[in-house]
Amino acid sequence: MALVSVLLEILSKPTIGDVLSELMIFIAPLWVAVIVGVFVGWTWQPKWACIGREMLIGCSAYKDSSPSISFGFISSLNSIKSQLPSCISWISDDEAQKDCSSFPPTLDSNSSSSPISKGKPSFVTNEDLEHLCNLVEEKDGGPAWIHMMDCSAPTMYYQAWERDLEAGPTEYRSRTVLEDATPEMVRDFFWDDEFRPKWDTMLASAATMEECPTTGTMVVHWVRKFPFFCSDREYVIGRRIWESGRSYYCVTKGVPYASVPRKSTPRRVDVYYSSWCIRAVESRKGDGQLTACEVLLFHHENMGIPWKIAKFGVRQCMWGTVKKIEPGLRAYQKERASGVLSHCAFMAQINAKVSADYLRSFESKSKDSSELETHNSSEKPSGNNIPKLLVVGGAIALACSLNRGLLTKTVIFGVARKFANIGKRL
């Protein structure tokens, strides 16, 4: 009642200005209390407050989260990031890797590169190549892609699509055409973790854990910077490149790796897939020359951000992030012209070579499986015929035993026919 009387007293003021000023004075302490409460809740919370949340995230991690490109928020507040709680729990798989010998440690002096042990299954296999080929040809059997944007810079053209799956994070597909660039240079550019921090400001650190000089397969460890209200994220990525003519199929995906133990911060991102098809295309200048490079990217990851917020962030920040690629590539071209070749760029040049016929075999396999599914779905299940026969046979027996009159038989046969038609529709 006291609150109502105060509000009535405020509303009884003679002018609108007096009413608004009194309301602001009345509401201001409430807002201050809310802001202080939120801040205190982020910086401190009892352990019991996390139990229900972890159970909820564990049960619905896929539905409630989706990939996002960086949210470029207030960098000056990064100093308090370490005090804030992280909110994501993750699920892991078990896998391993293939033969090969070692190279010296790269990028991070505290970590060392080791050979991929013999006798272990590969982190990245031909099945991953098949999946990427089906994505490129849009024959993976997933839902249709929804167009998001078209953007361009003087020497770059960009298109993006998205699609939501029944389970799992939102998937993104993009097509980037870079003028005056070769597929080989763009391939090395995306693989070069030593140069990447010069254009990818989210990458805090990168280290090569294992590598194979025979296939070019690598296992790398990334830490990426996130906004102040989230902890940083770490990735253990298996990657490999296949070459077909002047087309390069580059697969990178999250892999389990026991040698990098999990920590509370940075949080491990297990669900991660980011793969490219890089190939020469005709320039947009219209001169008929294959002097441009096309990059088809397929990306999804589960970082623990609610999917609606993530999709909004992607739409707002995607082009701002992507347009950093073009100046980064030009700087990389100049550096390579001086004869500098990093170890990661050297590894990018070790590719498994496959023929165009081999890649086409994936398409035919995908076509055969889709035709088989269509054929099976169009076939009438034989089990459904048994109830129909029982209904019709029972009706005949009933008609013959109950009454020899024509009317009774007609009614019973009519009912049986209706049941049979219902069975067909089902």
Between CA 354 and CA 220 the distance in angstroms is 24
Q: Kindly state the helix (H) or strand (E) to which residue 176 belongs, with its residue range.
A: strand 171-178
Note the pLDDT tens digit of each residue in 302-316. Answer: 988 887 887 887 888
pLDDT above 70 coverage of the chain, percent: 62
> Residue 331's pLDDT is what?
96
Per the prediction, the chain carries an average pLDDT of 74
Q: Are 268 and 232 in contact (CB under 8 A)?
A: no
Least-confidence region, from 98-102, 140-144, 185-189: 98-102
pLDDT at 6 (0 to 100): 65
C-alpha to C-alpha distance for 303 and 271, rounded to whole angstroms: 8
pLDDT at 223 over 80: yes
Global confidence as pTM: 0.63
- Say if strands 146-153 and 156-163 run parallel, antiparallel, or are unpaired: antiparallel
The predicted structure's pLDDT at residue 3:
63
Sign of CA dihedral 31, 34, 37, 41: negative
Instruction: Give the H or E element holding residue 292.
Output: strand 292-301
pLDDT at 43: 52
Residue 273 pLDDT class (50, 70, 90 cuts): very high
Residue 143 has pLDDT above 90, yes or no: yes
Could you tell me the pLDDT band of residue 389, with boundaries at 50, 70 and 90?
very low
Choice between 225 and 59, residue whose per-residue pLDDT is larger: 225
Indicate whether 193 pLDDT > 60: yes
Which band of pLDDT confidence, cut at 50, 70 and 90, is reported for residue 241? very high
pLDDT of residue 120: 56
Give the mean model confidence (pLDDT) for residues 86-105.
37
Who's near 251: CB < 8 A, 6+ residues apart? 124, 128, 129, 132, 239, 240, 241, 242, 275
Which pLDDT value is given to residue 118?
Answer: 52
Average pLDDT over residues 391-401: 47
pLDDT: which is higher, 251 or 51: 251
The HSE-up count of residue 360 (CA atoms within 13 Å, CB side) is 3
Contact at 8 Å (CB) between 348 and 241?
yes
- pLDDT 10s digits, 194-220: 999 999 999 999 999 999 999 999 999
Q: How is residue 260 annotated by DSSP?
A: S
Cis peptide before 266 (omega within 30 of 0): yes
18 confidence band (pLDDT: 50, 70, 90): confident
Q: What are phi and psi of 316, to 5 degrees?
A: -80, -30
- Match 């990028």 to its residue by tokens: 107
pLDDT band at residue 289 using 50, 70 and 90 as cut-offs: confident
User: What is the domain partition of the chain in residue ranges?
Assistant: 2-44, 75-372, 382-425
Q: What is the mean pLDDT of residues 63-82?
A: 40
pLDDT of residue 35: 76
What is the pLDDT at residue 25? 79
Band of the pLDDT at 99, cuts 50, 70, 90? very low
Return the percentage of the chain with pLDDT > 90, whole number: 43
Residue 115 pLDDT level (bands cut at 50, 70, 90)? low
CA–CA distance, 103 with 116 (Å, rounded to integer)? 10
| Average pLDDT score over residue span 313-323 | 87
What b-and-e string marks burial along 252-274, b requiring 16 or more CB atoms within 10 Å of the CB?
A: bbbbebeebeeeeebbbbbbbbb
Positive or negative torsion for Cα 110, 108, 273, 250: negative
Question: Rounded CA gap, 212 and 99, in Å?
Answer: 7
Q: What is the CATH number assigned to the segment(s) 75-372?
A: 3.30.530.20
Mean pLDDT of 69-93: 38
Q: Is 136 exposed, middle or buried (0-12, 13-18, 19+ CB in 10 A)?
A: buried
pLDDT at 108 over 70: no
User: Which pLDDT does position 15 carry in this prediction?
Assistant: 77
In this predicted model, what pLDDT tens digit does every residue of 330-363 receive, in sequence order? 999 999 999 989 999 999 999 999 998 989 888 7
